[in-house]
Amino acid sequence: MELTSLVAAGIKTQQNGFVDTATPTNGAAGEDRVYVDITIAAVDIAKSVVDVSGGYSMSLRGSSVLASNPSVKAVTWDGVTGGGASVNYSLMGRLINSTTLRLSVYNPVTTDVTNPRFMARWSVVEGK
Amino acid sequence: MSNFEYAVLDAAGAVIGISNLAGPVERDDHIPLAPESEIQAGDIYDRESGEFSRPAPVAPPAPPKISEALLPRKITVNAFRSRFTSAEELAFETALATSPMLSLLDKRLAALVATHVDLDDARYTTEAMPALVGAGILSAERAEQIMTAATQWHELPPAIQQQYIAAGYEIDV
């Protein structure tokens, strides 16, 4: 639903929340490689809009994972093992059915990860 | 507008979220909260008592430490020269003037050590130090001592020092 139409019609329900977890679900490669499903009260998907702000952050160990992830700049040097890097991914949000909001990350690094944190504030607004 | 507030639990019973919903949901991992509840992510829910508790804050992990025994065997040129006594250095400089072989070796190593001395480079142990011992500048014991002494923090090239510092290492020296 377009926001202008929603505003013109009026708001029927508004739901919101906060999520903070170190153990999001691992899915198949792609849009849902890492995700968290949020249960909400039933809404009409066609009349609803989603807003998400947050991110998925982590630290990476050593150089092995960095070598296979050229998008991540390695921080390693002679004589030191365990050097790493920190990365942060944006979250995407969508309603996958009338009662589930999915917050997902497109193909983040999933190996040699330490201190993962999936954190977001979300809202679902349903128009009349 | 939302009157149904829930604590969302993970499998271990830890609160991973708070949801304000437009209607009731019936799920084991959603615990209804009273109005004005101060439950927050990280709290623990006890299913038997129906009570939430808040774990004590976890102290941040101590910064990683590295001792001098673990420092890389790469030292500055000045640090390497400082491992020689004044008498040894003077003997070396004198020998350079009279020994074409030592002079040649010195030039080769000078090119090699443009930025730092790698104590594990075989050319030191198989060529340079034996040459100094053979010329009578060093004893075999002194050559061994110079090459095997543990790297001191102040001997490291600044670039390597900075890498340790930037990574948050606490230098235990």
Q: Judge whether residue A74 has pLDDT over 50.
A: no
Lowest-pLDDT range of A11-25, A33-47, A59-73: A59-73
- Cross-strand pairs, A25: A35
What is the ipTM metric for this complex?
Answer: 0.78
Compute the mean pLDDT over every residue in chain A, rounded to the nearest whole number: 82
pLDDT given for residue A42 in this prediction: 96
Q: Quick one: closest CA in B to A115, which residue?
A: B61
Half-sphere exposure of residue A20: CA atoms within 13 angstroms, side-chain side: 10
Q: Judge whether residue A24 has pLDDT over 60.
A: yes
For the segment B76-88, what is each residue's pLDDT rounded down to a tens digit? 988 998 999 999 9
pLDDT given for residue B114 in this prediction: 66
pLDDT given for residue B164 in this prediction: 81
State the angle between helix axes of B86-98 and B100-112 in degrees (0 to 180), rounded to the nearest 10.
Answer: 120
Name the most confidently modeled range: A57-71, B90-104, B130-144. B130-144
d(CA A65, CA A48): 40
d(CA B58, CA B40): 16
What are the Cα distances from residue B93, in Å, to A37, A55, B87, B112? 74, 62, 10, 19
Question: Do residues A52 and A103 touch, judged by C-beta distance below 8 A?
Answer: yes
How deeply is B141 buried, as exposed, middle or buried, from its count of CB atoms within 10 A (0-12, 13-18, 19+)?
A: exposed
Lowest-pLDDT range of A110-119, B10-19, B132-141, B163-172: B163-172
Among partner residues B8, B25, B73, which is closest to A19 by beta-carbon distance? Answer: B8
Scanning chain B, the segments in alpha helix (DSSP H) are: 77-82, 86-98, 100-112, 122-123, 129-134, 140-148, 158-166
Q: Judge whether residue B72 has pLDDT over 90.
A: no
For the segment B32-65, what is each residue's pLDDT rounded down to a tens digit? 999 888 999 999 999 999 999 999 988 877 777 7
Report the run of H or E that residue A7 belongs to, with start and end: helix A3-9
Q: Judge whether residue A20 has pLDDT over 80.
A: yes
Q: Give the residue with greater pLDDT, A34 vs B164.
A: A34
Mean pLDDT of the region A3-10: 76
Q: Is B169 left (phi over 0), alpha (psi -120 to 50) or beta?
A: beta
Q: What's the full length of chain A, in residues? A: 128
d(CA B111, CA B83): 20
Q: What is the percent of chain A with per-residue pLDDT over 70, rounded to a whole number?
A: 78
Q: What residues 64-93 of chain A have any CB closer than 8 A to a CB of chain B?
A: 75, 77-80, 82-83
- Eight-class DSSP state of B154: G
For the segment B102-129, what is each residue's pLDDT rounded down to a tens digit? 888 888 777 766 678 888 888 888 888 9
Q: Judge whether residue A49 has pLDDT over 90.
A: yes
| DSSP string of B103-146, one letter each residue | HHHHHHHHHHTSS-EETT-HHIIIIIHHHHHHTTSS-HHHHHHH
Q: Which residues of A touch B163 (CB under 8 A)?
A: 75, 77, 80, 83
Question: Do residues B149 and A62 touch, judged by C-beta distance below 8 A?
Answer: no
Q: Give the residue with greater pLDDT, B116 vs A100.
A: A100
Q: Do A19 and B164 touch (CB under 8 A)?
A: no
Question: Distance (Å) from the C-alpha of residue A68 to the closest C-alpha of chain B?
Answer: 21
Q: Do A15 and B22 touch (CB under 8 A)?
A: yes
Q: Judge whether residue A80 has pLDDT over 60.
A: no
pLDDT given for residue B172 in this prediction: 63
